[in-house]
Amino acid sequence: MAAKKKRNPEDLSIDELRQLIINKRRSEKSERLAYFRRNGRSMPVETALQPGDATDGLTSPYSEEDYIHPRRKKRKGFFNRVLVVIEVLAVAGLIYVFFSVFTSLNVLNKEVAASIIQPTLTPTAIIQAVVLPSGHTPPTDPGGVRFNESEIPEHLRAYVQSLANIPIPTASPEQAIRIQIPAISVDAPIVMGDGEEQLKKGVGQYIGSPNPGQVGNLVLSAHNDVYGEIFRDLDRLKAGDEIIVYTQVRSYTYVVQQQQIVDPTQIEVMAPTSDPFVTLISCYPYMIDKQRIVISASYLSQ
C-alpha cells in the first residue's frame, strides 16, 4: 500500500487543520499517559482524554487558571501577606500614638498639679546668719533697748531684714522646751526662733539647728541685761559644768568645754558639728553689749 502523500498546511481546510491539531494533542496525551503508567504515576481515568472529546474543539477538562496562572497565584498570595503586615503595623502605630498622647497628658497634668501646690517652707540654714543672735543696745542707751543695727555691715542690712520673715517650724515632741544650768541657777523656757520677740519670752533656739541629742550644733541664745537677764552669769561657767536641755520626751545633758568672747560677726561659732553640741550665746559685757560671750558644751551620752 502506497504511503500517504504529505500535504502542505496551505492546502488543508479549516476543519482538516482542526482535526490535525486534535489528533496531535491526543497523541501527545497518550504518550504522557503511557509514560506515567510505566513510572507508576497513572493519571485518573476521568481526566484522560476520551475519543469523542474532539467534538468540543480545543477545550480541556482543566480550567484555564489551572494551566496558565500558577505564578500569578503565588504573586497574589505574597501581596496579600504584605498587605496584612502593613495593616498590622498601621494598627500598632495608631495604638502607640494614642498611648503616647495619653502618657503626655498624664505627665502634663501632674506637672500642673505640682506647680499649684505651694512649696513647704524650711528653716533657714545657719550659713545665712550675718551676726550672732541676742544683739541689742544697752538699757542705758538714750534710745532704750532695741535691735542693734550698727552691728550689721551696711551692705547686708537689707538682707538681714528679709530674714525676719523666716517661718517658725511646727513643734515636735523632740524639740527643746526648757534649759537648766545648775551652776548659775538658770531654769528657763526655750522657744523656737531667736528674734527680738522670741527672746522676750525666754531662751531662743536658732532656726535650722538640730534638736537636743542629735548630731550638730544646737544654738541657744538669751539676753544678759534685759527680759529676765537669763544668761547674765554665763561668764561664771567653767569646764565640766552641766547644761540640761529638756524635750517633751526626755532630758539631755551637755558638759561645758570652753568659754570665749567674740565679735558679733564671728558666726563660725554657730557652724554645724560632727557630734552633738550645744552653744550658748549672749551679749557681753553686762550693760555694754558690744561683744558676745559663747559657751560650748558637748553631749554627755547616757
**49-71, pLDDT tens digit by residue?**
455 554 444 555 555 555 445 55
Q: What is the mean pLDDT of the chain?
A: 80
Q: Are 281 and 132 found together in one domain?
A: yes
Q: Is residue 294 within 8 Å of 262, Cβ to Cβ?
A: yes
Domain housing 58: 14-62
Residue 36: pLDDT over 90: no
Report the alpha-carbon distance of residue 233 to residue 229 in Å, rounded. Answer: 9
pLDDT of residue 256: 98
The predicted-structure confidence for 160-195, as pLDDT tens digits, reads as follows 666 666 778 888 999 999 999 999 999 999 999 988
How would residue 121 be classed by pLDDT, with cut points 50, 70 and 90? Answer: very low
Domain boundary among 62, 87, 118: 62
- Is 0.85 surpassed by the pTM of this model? no
Q: Is residue 282 within 8 Å of 295, Cβ to Cβ?
A: no
Give the total number of structural domains in the chain: 2
pLDDT of residue 54: 46
Q: Are 20 and 150 found together in one domain?
A: no
Residue 196 is classified by DSSP as H
137-141, 224-228, 253-257, 292-296: least confidently modelled range: 137-141
Q: What percent of the chain has pLDDT over 70?
A: 74
Domain assignment of residue 111, yes or no:
no
Is the pLDDT higher at 120 or at 226?
226
Question: Which whole-number Å values give the CA distances from 65 to 72, 73, 188, 191, in the listed order?
Answer: 9, 9, 110, 101
What does R_g of the chain's alpha carbons equal in angstroms? 54
Domain boundary among 62, 78, 96: 62
Q: Are 57 and 142 found together in one domain?
A: no
The predicted-structure confidence for 80-120, as pLDDT tens digits, reads as follows 888 888 988 888 888 988 888 878 877 877 776 666 555 44
How would residue 277 be classed by pLDDT, with cut points 50, 70 and 90? Answer: very high
pLDDT of residue 45: 52
How would residue 144 be classed by pLDDT, with cut points 50, 70 and 90? Answer: confident
Q: Is residue 182 within 8 Å of 242, Cβ to Cβ?
A: yes
Helix, strand, coil distribution of the chain in percent, nearest 5: 40, 20, 40
Report the alpha-carbon distance of residue 22 to residue 114 in Å, rounded. Answer: 91
Domain assignment of residue 90, yes or no:
no
Identify each DSSP E strand in the chain by its residue range: 178-181, 186-192, 203-205, 216-221, 242-246, 251-262, 276-284, 291-299
